[in-house]
Amino acid sequence: MNKEAKIYIAGHKGMVGSAIWRTLSDRGYTNLIGVSSAELDLRNQQAVKDFIAQEKPEVIIDAAARVGGILANNNYPYQFIMENMQIQNNLIDSAMQGEVNKFIFLGSSCIYPKLAPQPLKEEYLLTNTLEPTNEWYAIAKITGVKACQAIRKQFGKDYVSLMPTNLYGTYDNFDLNTSHVLPAMMRKFHEAKENNHAPVTLWGSGTPMREFLFVDDMAKAVVFALENKLPEYLYNVGTGEDLTIKHLAETIQQIIGHQGKIIWDDSKPDGTPRKLMDVSKMHDLGWKHEVNLQEGIRITYNWFLENIENVKKVTL
């Protein structure tokens, strides 16, 4: 890939998009473009088409999405399915119409069936029913995967989908109403520590198992897909290692230094029992994660402390 190639990163100000931007810049890419949601509403079909036609990027990386945890998915099902389909469909179709030959679509491990065999292989897609608490987001992302596959099949363009496991890291969302499990725990333990090590109540039983990938490692996977023509249309991106939510909570608690009690509210939903990714296809091609979970949590917590006044919707 030419380091001067024009690359449009949709969602460049989000956690994933900003990590991709930093990683590409560090690798010497000099022609990156991104616009804020205030400047370009990706839900607006005509606005997106006009933007792509005007800018003529050689590559589009779609890191834009409406995202959130169990609570947000449960409370806003229509927005999660409709807005995500609008965003990705506008980008994919505008890329296709604008003769963009390389498109990298980012999805989520929730596209796989709730009770699929573990670890999750790419071929398990559409083999059974989804997890009800996030099916709206999952269905939207599945349509994006299939749209890219259809373009790849029909027109031979290099459109590839990367399905990350649970991501976390710097510039994460720490709003307790919309955040994912790891940043939500980090905020709760921090605030409890500041409040004389008060008890922390967490959702569910603590028994589900989850896999977590530091966002900079995800960014490096995107760069890997950018610099190589991957032979298949869909790839899992993760660590291939998981742990219980209880173990995760205890790890975050220890790193933050909270000494209070953890209370598990098992009246709240657990979600999918286990979501471990089979990442052998990416490993076979030459990509592997570099940051282990404890190191990643420390980096993220240090960033949280340094940016505590500016972190979106974090008020202490």
- Residue 180 assigned as binding residue: yes
- Residue 243 assigned as binding residue: no
Which residues are CB-neighbours of 61 under 8 A, at least 6 positions away?
Answer: 7, 8, 9, 10, 17, 20, 103, 104, 106, 222, 226
- Residue 261 assigned as binding residue: no
> How far apart are the C-alpha atoms of 33 and 30, rounded to whole Å?
9
Of 210, 205, 193, residue with least CA distance to 261: 193
Q: Look up residue 119 and give its two tokens.
A: 């670890």
- Residue 14 assigned as binding residue: yes
- Residue 238 assigned as binding residue: no
- Residue 141 assigned as binding residue: yes
**Angle at the Cα of 81 (from 113 to 168), degrees rounded to 5?**
70
Of 63, 60, 81, 64, residue with least CA distance to 72: 81
DSSP labels, 21-64: HHHHHHTT---EE---TTT--TT-HHHHHHHHHHH--SEEEE--
Q: Which of 137, 159, 233, 301 is catalytic?
A: 137
- Residue 161 assigned as binding residue: no
Q: Report the first-to-last Cα separation within the chain, whole angstroms.
A: 45
Burial letters 242-261, b for 16+ CB under 10 A, else e: beebbebbebbbebbebeee
- Residue 13 assigned as binding residue: yes
- Residue 284 assigned as binding residue: no
- Residue 166 assigned as binding residue: yes
- Residue 108 assigned as binding residue: yes
Catalytic residue check, 137: yes
Which residues are CB-neighbours of 98 under 8 A, at least 6 positions away?
Answer: 49, 52, 53, 56
- Residue 203 assigned as binding residue: yes
Q: Is 235 strand, coil or helix?
A: strand
- Residue 172 assigned as binding residue: no
- Residue 165 assigned as binding residue: yes
Q: Is 167 strand, coil or helix?
A: strand
- Residue 274 assigned as binding residue: no
Whether 274 contacts 207, CB under 8 Å:
no
- Residue 271 assigned as binding residue: no
Burial letters 165-200, b for 16+ CB under 10 A, else e: bbbbbbbbbbbeebbbbbbbbbbbbbebbeeeeeeb
- Residue 106 assigned as binding residue: yes
- Residue 206 assigned as binding residue: no
Going by the annotation, the residues of the binding site for substrate are 188, 203, 210, 270
* Active site amino acids: 137
Going by the annotation, the residues of the binding site are 11-17, 106-109, 141, 164-167, 180, 188, 203, 210, 270
Going by the annotation, the residues of the binding site for NADP(+) are 11-17, 106-109, 141, 164-167, 180
